[in-house]
Amino acid sequence: MSKKMFKVLCPMEGRNGVKYWSRLGSGFTNKDESINVYLDVIPFNKTNVTIQLREVTEEEQRRDAERRAANSNGAGASMPSNAGNETFAASGPAPF
């Protein structure tokens, strides 16, 4: 059984009213199929926080591996997997 990896997302609204998904952290399955969630960011400017777990696709894993390889030239500190506050397209409208 392969260990599933998840991205932790939160729907956000920009200053211009545009809604987008922001990555908050990562999640990983345990032997008993429970999920540990590791948050890099906690949204504090909202009264109701919606957090969504989405399984990381093979394409995303490949892209992250290529990015890490390109950045491993020894210059500077390594960046977290969600560096740059990436946004992600949702399969539907943001739930707010």
Task: Confirm whether 76 is domain-assigned.
Answer: no
| Residue-wise pLDDT tens digits, 39-68 | 999 888 767 888 999 999 999 989 989 999
Q: CA 27 to CA 16: how far, in whole Å?
A: 30
| Residue-wise pLDDT tens digits, 3-35 | 889 999 999 888 898 999 999 999 999 999 999
Task: Confirm whether 44 is domain-assigned.
Answer: yes
∠ CA 46-49-54, rounded to 5°: 135
Which residues have C-beta within 8 Å of that of residue 81, sequence separation ≥ 6? Answer: 26, 64
DSSP 66-90: HHHHHH-SSSSPPPPTTTT--EE--
Tokens of 35: 């999920």
Task: Confirm whether 61 is domain-assigned.
Answer: yes
For residue 30, the enclosing domain spans 5-71+81-88
Task: Confirm whether 95 is domain-assigned.
Answer: no
